[in-house]
Amino acid sequence: MLKDRGLKAYNWLGIIVAYTVLTVLCVYIIPNNSPFSVFTYVFGFVFVAVVPGYCLLNVLFQEGKLDLVEKAVLSVALSFSIVGISGLFLGLSPIGITVPSIIVSLTSIVLVLAFVAFLKKRNLQSVKQANN
């Protein structure tokens, strides 16, 4: 059972990384006038509105401390906060707010938060495994 939990952390990180890569590919590959551009909007909206907050939520809270509704609400609220703060920093920096700068900044924020959450989950699982 503990080995399954170890795989769970790797699967979680893999899903976040795969979704991030899929979103970036949709944004860069699918043209705006294509009938498939709806995928860009759907993946992009979920990427902006949920994923950064969900990764930060996994950094801040242990698994099992929050129920599904609390996770959903906090994920959306934290995501918009993260996106707003990154937009503020981009707007004040010489880089400016452009589509590539937004994509690069949000992708890097999500990947860093996901990796930190993964390390936390892995360390927590090794502590649980050592106690058993």
Gap between the Cα atoms of 115 and 112, Å rounded:
5
Q: What pLDDT shows up at residue 7?
A: 60
pTM: 0.86
Gap between the Cα atoms of 43 and 39, Å rounded:
6
SS3 31: coil
- For 50, 52, 65, 73, 103, the CA distances from 56, given in Å and listed in that order, are 10, 6, 14, 13, 18
Kindly report which listed range (2-6, 61-65, 90-94, 128-132) carries the lowest average pLDDT score: 2-6
- For 11, 30, 56, 121, the CA distances from 39, given in Å and listed in that order, are 23, 8, 25, 31
Task: Please state the domain extents for the chain.
Answer: 2-131
Span 13-63, pLDDT tens digits: 999 999 999 999 999 999 989 899 999 999 999 999 999 999 999 999 888
Locate 2 and state its tokens: 């503990």
- For 16, 35, 68, 87, the CA distances from 117, given in Å and listed in that order, are 11, 36, 18, 23
Q: What is the residue type of 49? A: A
